[in-house]
């Protein structure tokens, strides 16, 4: 698809995925290039989260290949995929509730073995100052928005090459959602972080994304730049004017 | 039955309480009818004696007790969150000086056997409690830190005891050589038994480990050529203090402990010596797990306990994390088992039944999962109380059960449920974060 240019950072080629006998994804093709923000939008149950999880090796992708920096990662276990530099912020945040904010962040740094811990910590605390104030508080006592920030901060601590965000705006107040999308744009601009973002909040996601894919029933139906899809009549009708904005 | 939800804003719901207590009384009735109500007559001839009053008393006691507990839980202030807020505050304040407290505690325990009041029974009891403290701390690595519910922990205790005994008897090795070997063998068993259960969690893991615990015991019983079957093995030597034996009449050319120090022989010397060994072993277990919590591997254990999905997404290998917890937990059980064997001088499979696993797990759970101090408190309650209560004869198990119920009502998350963060003041311990990860 991308033809010329450099090798994409992440390439998903003809991947299907199953939960038992149920097919959740079929023939998914997409690419994320270095330095891009790419978003995947689609309705509930379309298979967006499944695609992110398949990239991370659970469930395992079938029938095609997933490549990261040109390397086939389709058969790797989840933790090895993470160690290659793919940080997954799962849907529902999955922070460690009984551990403090600090401990959560430290575990995030655990596989970036040679990183500069203090520097990364300062960076994350500058992005989300509230985490600094709450550093000794248990993860489970944070508000939903703070937990989302912690989950993103924890993922950044490993200095990933690719950040996979699953529904970061889910269930959060509009102001917090705005801050999270600002941060996504910021880390992309300042740290050249490549981001693959799965969202139901199509309006915000398309606003921040360089390129976007639309998923329907486990297949990619449409792709284009964020601006193109924002202007597309079908997209507007299906995802933007339904009250998601 | 969730008692906490029985009370709305309208005050006490008597109906709910009575219904609940009634159900409990019904269960008591069914149990008491056969257990208390009928007895074979002493007079011979196989006649049955009926004792309706016993049943009535039992049912009434259960009804009243259940209602009282429900009433008490319902009427306490909901704002406090836990049943004993002052206790929580005290714990929080004490945990600020945790190191100091620990040092004081160990010092106090260490001088205990040297005090004039210490007699054989007291030192022996203290040793027994320390064994369970050590086992509790070992299991705490598996259950409290890594969150893997292990109901077969006694298997590793047994493996340690038998490894030690067989090595000591067949190869004539001393306690100090066998101890690390027995620990290593137990750790190996931990890893071996850990492999098949890696995919399991929670209840399923508990059932399988329960099975492993029983299998180990049954194998020991049946492999009599090696283990002596249910007869067990006798004649296990007592460890020496740098070659000094604890015997009234040493062999020619040997110096016994009392001769070396020029004191009259006393049987208590050996007990005190054994007590110090278990004290040091337990202390090592404690220092090890406290240190582990601050190292990446211990972090990984806790992370896996909290959230497996997130742990994997952060690059933690769940296989290694779980196996390391299983293996290290088993290692400490192996040490404790070796000690147990040398203290008893005799082992047989009946020391390693499921009830042991259950007691060790109860110590961890009642102490508050993951709490090191909690394990001490719970071991004292669970081991010392039943021993001290021997005077109450058959009522001692009743006291024991009552104590457990009381703890779970007052402290539903364990005596000391407060998890102490492994980092304070935002300072990472140097070198604690990088390298050497599972």
Min CA distance, B429 vs chain A (Å)?
11
Q: Which of A98-107, B261-270, B373-382 shows the lowest mean pLDDT across its residues?
A: B261-270
Which of A56, A99, A136 has the CB atom closest to B313's CB atom? A56
The answer to whether residue A87 neighbours chain B at the CB level (below 8 Å) is yes
CB contact under 8 A, A110 and B314: yes
Q: Rounded to an integer, what distance in angstroms lies between the CA atom of residue B406 and that of residue B24?
A: 17
CB contact under 8 A, A107 and B309: no
What are the helix (H) ranges across chain A?
Answer: 48-55, 78-83, 101-108, 117-127, 129-133, 144-156, 174-190, 202-208, 226-231, 233-235
User: In order of start, what are the domains of chain B with their CATH numbers?
Assistant: 3-76 (no CATH), 86-410 (1.10.3470)
CB contact under 8 A, A94 and B309: yes
- B300 interaction partners in chain A (CB closer than 8 Å): 107, 110
Residue B30 has pLDDT above 80, yes or no: yes
Which of A97, A103, A110 has the CB atom closest to B315's CB atom? A110
Residues in chain B whose Cβ is within 8 Å of chain A:
296, 299-300, 302-303, 306-307, 309-318, 419, 421-424, 426, 428, 433-435, 437
Residue B144 has pLDDT above 60, yes or no: yes
CB B265 within 8 A of CB B258: yes
Mean pLDDT for the stretch of residues B273-289: 92
If one compares A133 and B368, the residue with the highest pLDDT of the two is A133
Residue B262 has pLDDT above 60, yes or no: yes
CB contact under 8 A, A82 and B306: no
Q: Rounded to an integer, what distance in angstroms lies between the CA atom of residue A86 and that of residue B255?
A: 66
- B422 interaction partners in chain A (CB closer than 8 Å): 103
CB A194 within 8 A of CB A86: no
Q: Rounded to an integer, what distance in angstroms lies between the CA atom of residue B82 and that of residue B76?
A: 10
Mean pLDDT for the stretch of residues B174-193: 92
> Mean of the per-residue pLDDT values for chain A?
89
pLDDT in tens, B48-71: 778 788 888 888 988 888 888 888
pLDDT of amino acid B46: 65
Which residue in B169, B159, B218 sits closest to B340, CA to CA? B159
The answer to whether residue A129 neighbours chain B at the CB level (below 8 Å) is no
CB contact under 8 A, A106 and B426: no
Contacts of residue B423, defined as CB under 8 A and 6 or more positions apart, other chains included, come to A100, A102, A103, A106, B294, B429
Q: Which of A38-42, B116-120, B214-218 shows the lowest mean pLDDT across its residues?
A: B116-120
Torsion of CA B119, B124, B125, B129, to 10 degrees: 140
CB contact under 8 A, B299 and A77: no
The answer to whether residue A95 neighbours chain B at the CB level (below 8 Å) is yes
Min CA distance, B418 vs chain A (Å)?
10
Residue B44 has pLDDT above 50, yes or no: yes
Q: Rounded to an integer, what distance in angstroms lies between the CA atom of residue B20 and that of residue B394?
A: 29
pLDDT of amino acid B435: 40
pLDDT of amino acid B175: 87
pLDDT in tens, A48-99: 999 999 999 988 999 999 999 999 999 999 999 999 999 999 988 899 998 9
Mean pLDDT for the stretch of residues B152-174: 92
Could you identify the residue written with the tokens 């029983």? B214
What percent of chain A is predicted at pLDDT more than 70? 94
Residue B437 has pLDDT above 60, yes or no: no
Q: Determine the residue among A73, A107, A166 to mutate to test chain B binding: the one whose Cβ has the most chain B Cβ atoms within 10 Å.
A: A107
CB contact under 8 A, B306 and A58: no
Contacts of residue B54, defined as CB under 8 A and 6 or more positions apart, other chains included, come to B32, B36, B37
What are the helix (H) ranges across A169-240?
Answer: 174-190, 202-208, 226-231, 233-235
CB contact under 8 A, B302 and A113: no
Q: Rounded to an integer, what distance in angstroms lies between the CA atom of residue B413 and that of residue B407?
A: 9
pLDDT of amino acid B296: 86
If one compares A70 and B116, the residue with the highest pLDDT of the two is A70
ipTM for this model = 0.86
pLDDT of amino acid B196: 84
First to last CA, chain A: 30
Opening angle at CA B360, ends B358 and B361, nearest 5: 65
What is the pLDDT confidence band of residue B430, given thresholds at 50, 70 and 90?
Answer: very low
Q: Which of B7-16, B92-101, B164-173, B407-416 shows the lowest mean pLDDT across its residues?
A: B7-16
Contacts of residue B416, defined as CB under 8 A and 6 or more positions apart, other chains included, come to B91, B367, B368, B371, B373, B374, B377
pLDDT of amino acid B252: 66
Min CA distance, A242 vs chain B (Å)?
32
Residue B368 has pLDDT above 50, yes or no: yes
What is the pLDDT confidence band of residue B423, given thresholds at 50, 70 and 90?
Answer: low
CA distances from A139 to A29, A40, A167, B229, B283 (A): 37, 28, 19, 51, 31
Mean pLDDT for the stretch of residues B244-254: 71
DSSP H or E segment with residue B156: helix B154-170
Q: At what angle do helices B267-294 and B98-111 cross, to 10 degrees?
A: 170
Q: How many CB atoms lie within 10 A of CB A166?
A: 23
What percent of chain B is predicted at pLDDT more than 90? 27
Contacts of residue B370, defined as CB under 8 A and 6 or more positions apart, other chains included, come to B140, B144, B145, B302, B419
CB contact under 8 A, A110 and B299: yes
DSSP H or E segment with residue B62: helix B52-75
Radius of gyration in angstroms for the set of CA atoms belonging to chain A, rounded to a whole number? 17
Please state the length of chain B. 438
CB contact under 8 A, A135 and B303: no
Mean pLDDT for the stretch of residues B389-411: 73
Mean pLDDT for the stretch of residues A185-209: 92
Q: Rounded to an integer, what distance in angstroms lies between the CA atom of residue B62 and that of residue B91?
A: 32
Min CA distance, A229 vs chain B (Å)?
31
Q: Rounded to an integer, what distance in angstroms lies between the CA atom of residue A128 and that of residue A35?
A: 22
pLDDT in tens, B309-327: 899 999 999 999 999 999 9
pLDDT of amino acid A4: 47
- The pair of structure tokens assigned to B387 is 């021993």
CB contact under 8 A, A103 and B422: yes
pLDDT of amino acid A2: 43
Mean pLDDT for the stretch of residues B376-389: 83
Q: At what angle do helices A101-108 and A117-127 cross, to 10 degrees?
A: 120
> Mean of the per-residue pLDDT values for chain B?
81
Residue A208 has pLDDT above 70, yes or no: yes
pLDDT of amino acid B403: 75
Residue B438 has pLDDT above 50, yes or no: no
pLDDT in tens, B327-348: 999 999 999 999 999 999 899 9
């Amino acid at each position: 698809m991308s033809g010329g240019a450099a090798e994409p950072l992440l390439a998903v080629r003809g991947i299907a995925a199953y939960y038992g006998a149920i097919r959740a994804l079929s023939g998914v093709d997409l690419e994320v290039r270095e330095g891009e923000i790419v978003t995947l939008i689609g309705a509930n149950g379309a298979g967006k989260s499944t695609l992110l999880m398949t990239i991370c090796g659970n469930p395992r992708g079938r029938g095609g290949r997933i490549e990261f920096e040109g390397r086939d990662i389709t058969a790797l276990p989840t933790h090895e995929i993470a160690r290659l530099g793919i940080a997954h912020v799962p849907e529902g945040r999955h922070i460690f509730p009984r551990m403090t904010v600090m401990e959560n962040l430290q575990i995030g740094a655990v596989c970036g073995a040679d990183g500069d811990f203090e520097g990364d910590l300062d960076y994350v605390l500058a992005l989300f100052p509230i985490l600094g104030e709450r550093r000794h508080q248990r993860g489970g006592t944070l508000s939903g928005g703070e937990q989302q920030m912690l989950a993103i901060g924890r993922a950044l601590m490993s200095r990933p090459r690719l950040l996979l965000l699953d529904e970061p705006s889910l269930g959060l107040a509009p102001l917090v959602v705005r801050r999270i999308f600002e941060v996504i744009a910021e880390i992309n601009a300042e740290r050249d972080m490549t981001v693959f973002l799965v969202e139901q909040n199509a309006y915000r996601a398309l606003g921040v994304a360089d390129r976007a894919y639309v998923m329907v029933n486990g297949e990619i139906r449409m792709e284009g730049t964020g601006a193109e899809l924002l202007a597309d009549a079908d997209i507007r009708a299906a995802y933007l004017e339904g009250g998601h904005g | 039955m969730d008692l906490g939800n029985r009370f709305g804003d309208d005050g006490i719901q008597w109906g709910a309480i009575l219904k609940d207590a009634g159900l409990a009384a019904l269960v008591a009735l069914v149990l008491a009818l056969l257990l208390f109500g009928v007895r074979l007559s002493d007079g011979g001839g196989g006649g049955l004696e009926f004792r309706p009053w016993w049943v009535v008393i039992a049912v009434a006691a259960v009804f009243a007790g259940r209602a009282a507990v429900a009433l008490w839980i319902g009427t306490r202030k909901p704002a406090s969150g836990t049943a004993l807020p002052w206790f929580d505050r005290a714990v929080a304040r004490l945990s600020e000086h945790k190191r100091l407290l620990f040092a004081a505690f160990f010092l106090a325990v260490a001088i205990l056997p040297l005090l004039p009041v210490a007699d054989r029974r007291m030192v022996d009891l203290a040793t027994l409690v320390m064994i369970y403290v050590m086992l509790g701390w070992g299991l705490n690595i598996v259950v409290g830190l890594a969150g893997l519910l292990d109901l077969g922990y006694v298997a590793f205790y047994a493996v340690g005891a038998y490894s030690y005994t067989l090595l000591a008897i067949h190869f004539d090795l001393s306690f100090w050589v066998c101890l690390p070997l027995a620990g290593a063998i137990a750790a190996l068993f931990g890893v071996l038994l850990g492999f098949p259960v890696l995919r399991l969690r929670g209840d399923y893991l508990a059932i399988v480990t329960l099975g492993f615990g029983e299998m180990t015991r049954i194998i020991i019983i049946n492999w009599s050529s090696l283990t002596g079957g249910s007869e067990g093995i006798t004649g296990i030597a007592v460890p020496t203090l740098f070659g000094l034996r604890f015997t009234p009449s040493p062999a020619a050319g040997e110096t016994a402990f009392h001769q070396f120090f020029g004191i009259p022989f006393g049987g208590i010397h050996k007990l005190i010596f054994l007590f110090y060994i278990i004290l040091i072993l337990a202390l090592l277990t404690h220092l090890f797990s406290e240190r582990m919590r601050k190292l990446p591997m211990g972090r990984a254990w806790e992370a896996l306990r909290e959230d497996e999905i997130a742990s994997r997404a952060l690059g933690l290998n769940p296989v290694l994390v779980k196996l390391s917890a299983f293996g290290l937990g088993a290692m400490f059980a192996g040490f404790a088992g070796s000690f147990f064997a040398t203290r008893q001088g005799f082992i047989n499979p009946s020391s390693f039944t499921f009830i042991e696993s259950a007691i060790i797990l109860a110590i961890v759970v009642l102490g508050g999962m993951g709490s090191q101090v909690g394990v001490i408190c719970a071991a004292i309650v669970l081991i010392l109380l039943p021993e001290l209560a021997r005077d109450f004869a058959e009522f001692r198990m009743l006291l024991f059960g009552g104590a457990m119920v009381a703890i779970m009502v007052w402290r539903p998350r364990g005596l000391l449920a407060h998890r102490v963060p492994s980092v304070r003041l935002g300072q990472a311990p140097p070198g604690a974060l990088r390298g050497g990860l599972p």
